Each structure stands twice: as structure tokens, then as C-alpha cells.
Structure 1
Amino acid sequence: MREVKGLDGPWKTLGETLKKLREEKGMSLRELSLAINVDYKKLERMERGDFKNLDVPVYVKGYLRRYADVLGIDSTELIEMYEKGFEVTNVETGMIEEEKEERKKKADLSLIFVIAVLLVNLILLYVGLKEFSSLIREPLGIIENLSGDVIKVNGTDLKPGERMALSEGTYRIEGNKGEVFVRTKGKLWKVRLKDFEVKISWER
């Protein structure tokens, strides 16, 4: 027969005692079941020491009294062993609950840490995207062709009235016959030179 986990204390001893007393009387479980009017399966569990959720405690004590009456022994000791089993079970249950609570606390802390890391990463991502988008929206400089002719900016044609965004670097303007506006953050230059260079860089 299988051994019930967690019943190494009073309940197991009680079960072994019941079985020993019955066998000494030469009775089978079937015979005992009929004699005391208790289901055979319940008696089988009792002799294994498996009293957990067997029945309402007051009923189980009644089974033990009937058991004792048929076997001709005092039921007091049997009932005491049964009640002691509750004390052991409650201690084990308390330890299990404490262990569950400890695991829950650790899981909660892990979750808080993960959420904190995610929040930090989201903030960094937001700041990075904001900086990147600001660079896209606001070029370092703009050159605008206000002359009546096509000019070249680093070899690229810029038609009259057109603008070109400038990023960091050096730009050579050629073929200017009128005016060219060069605008950077907070500053504006009007250039009338035919050929000139513009150097754009970040403020250090």
C-alpha cells in the first residue's frame, strides 16, 4: 500500500496500531467494516494513517470509538493520537504557508526590479528618440538660394528659391551671382561672394 506523504507522526502510528490490533483479533477489513458500519475504503485509509480530509473530526472520533469497542480496547489513547496528528499537520501547514509567502515576496521583488529596469529603459529610449527627432526637425543650418541662377552646393544643384538643410560638415558653394542666405541656429548671413565655403559644426 502507498505511504501517505507527511504522515510520519502520530497519525501514521495510529494507523499502524489500528492495523495491528485488528490483525491480532483475526479480523479482515471487510469484516470490521460490516461490524462497525464504516466504509471499507475509509478504514483502509485509517490504517495507512491517512486521516487528512478523511471526514469531519467528530465522525472520525466516532469511527475510532467503534473500532475500539469491536476490538475490546479503550478508545481514549486512539483519539489522543488522532488529535496530536492535527498539531503536527498544523505545524507543517504553517511552515508550508511561510515558505509560500517567502517565495511570493521574492517573486514580487523580482517583478518590481524588472518593472524598474523596463521603466529606466523606456525613459532612456524616450530621451534618445526625442534628441534624434529634434535633430531631424531642426538641421544645424540652412542655405537658401536667393539669386536668379542655379548654384552648386558640394556639386549639387540648388535652384533659385530652393533651400538645403545642412548637417555637420564643410560645404562649398559655387556659381553665386546674387545673394545666398546661410542660416544657423540664431544667426543669419547674407553672402554675395561667387564662391565660398561654409563649415557647420556642433557647439562644443
Structure 2
Amino acid sequence: MSEASVEGIGEQLRAAREHHHITLRGASRRLKIREAYLKALEDEDFAVLPQGAYVLGFLRNYALLLHLNYRELRDQYRKQFGGKIAEETEIAPEASTRKRIGFILTPARVIAFTIIVGSALFLWYLFSQYQSLTRPPILELSSPLEGEVFNARSIRITGRTDHNATLRINGEEVHLSTEGIFEREFVALKNGPESLEIVSENRISGKQTIIHRNFNVALPSSDAILPNGGNTTGTTAPVDTGITISIRTLDSVWFRVSVDDGANEDFLMEDGQTRTFHAKSKIYVRSGKAYAAYVSVNSKPEELMGTTSVVERTWTLSDL
């Protein structure tokens, strides 16, 4: 490129820069163009500038910064040198005067962000529901307390678990309320230590929560239950004339009794009551709370009606 100067270009650039109170160093930082190149433009020393379109690129960016008419400066430069000048191209990043723009919140970005957040929340909800459905149930036992001593035969078992769990106390399933609250009566059959195993099982995953509870029973001597029924006896009948069954209860117990295949008799016996039935050949007994009832057949020692809530038993003369 010729070293001849373009009259007036450098003076216009310098005058505009000084008018705006901008130093060469300040302009260099803002334009990201070397200070030496800007000084060469003002001195019209084009020989030190890169060849070709870079000159026009530097000139355009400098003119825009100083609010000068770039087209006039470009035309003036072309008239001075003549010939075809390469059209300006994008200058390297160091020469860019575009102001960097930060993050812009657009409708598309808002929608994308909403979808991402919504999906994350939905996945978290599914995960929490899965955890809730498959985890071991919560199980709390309010009574009896560990090591508690009872002076009565009837002991109330109370607590709470998940309402959709299966609850068993000593192997027997117990009904739950809609809130998961359970209540069950335990009848002590003897003095001394007793134990409970309460198992709450998740119906879906089968995972269990188990509580073992130990307590003690200290019944007054008048209430103690002896193997043969103690101080409570039923009416007996001669054993050689058929079957005689005496029933004694430790709590309110419902019964259904049929003698010699006759009509069923349904009745409720309260704590401490005794009833006796006599048949020629057969007696059928169905009992709720069988664990709270004792039976004696033909004056033999008493035995529990059963160990679960509902029990059916039949005695025939041929079996005795």
C-alpha cells in the first residue's frame, strides 16, 4: 500500500476524539484495537496498518465510536488511493465494537424453563409416591408401655400405623380405622411376664415394621386363674348320661350354641359368668373372643375355648 496520506482523514479523527474527551488508550480499550493502529490512522501513516480491508474496518469502527460519517471517510480514502478496494469484512473479535448483551428472557426460554421445572417436580412427586407406597409402615404403640405392670386381666393394646397396612398382634390380624388407629383387648391368663409382637406390613412391598413389647401381670390372689378354673365353677351333670359343657368367661363374649343338632341359641356372656349345657350326644359351640372363654367337658379340667377371636368347636359322645 502507498505511504501517501489521505488529506484530512487523520485530522478529522483526532479532532473528533479530542472533542469527545477520549484518549487513544481509552479508544483502544473500547474498540479492542491496538493503540498503535489508531495512532497510525490519526497520523495517516497507513504503511504500518495491516493490508487490504483491515484499514477500512479500523476506519469504520473508529468513525462509529467518534460519531463521524464513515461513508464520507471511506469515499475520501478511495479517491486518494484509487483502484478497487476490498469490501470491508468483519474485523477480528478484538476490533468489534458491539456491546456485549447479557442473558435475555424470551417467551421461548420462559416456556422451556417452565417445562424443565414442571418435569422435575413431576418426577420428584412420582419418586415420593413410590417411596410412600413401598417403605415400611410407620408403627407406634401407645399401650402397654415397656415393663408396665398390670393388676387386671383385661389389658388394652392401642397404637397407630399406616391406614393401608396390615396389622397383626401375636399373629392375629387386627382391624384399623381410616386413620390407621388400632385398639385390641388382651386377656391375661396368668400372673407373670407377658409379651406382644406387633407387626405392621406394607400391602404392596411386603416390608414390615415390628415392635416387641414386654410387660408384667400381677393379679390379686382372688382373681388368679388356676388350671382347673380356680374359684369359679360351673354346674355339672352326670357324665354317664351324655355330654355336659360348662362355659366360663373372662370378658364380654358372644356365643352360639346348638344341642343335639337343635336350634341355635345366640347369647352374650359378661365377665365372670358361667353357663352349663347338657346334650345326649352332641354340642356345637361358636365363640367370639375365644381367648377369653374357658370350657369344661364332663367335669374335666378347664381349657381355653381357643387362641383366636372366632372359634367353632363340636363335642360328640363318641369322641369323649
Instruction: Decide which structure has the larger Cα Rg and report it.
Output: 2
Report the structure, 1 or 2, having the larger strand content.
2
- Structure whose residues are more often helix by fraction: 1
TM-score normalised to structure 2 length: 0.27
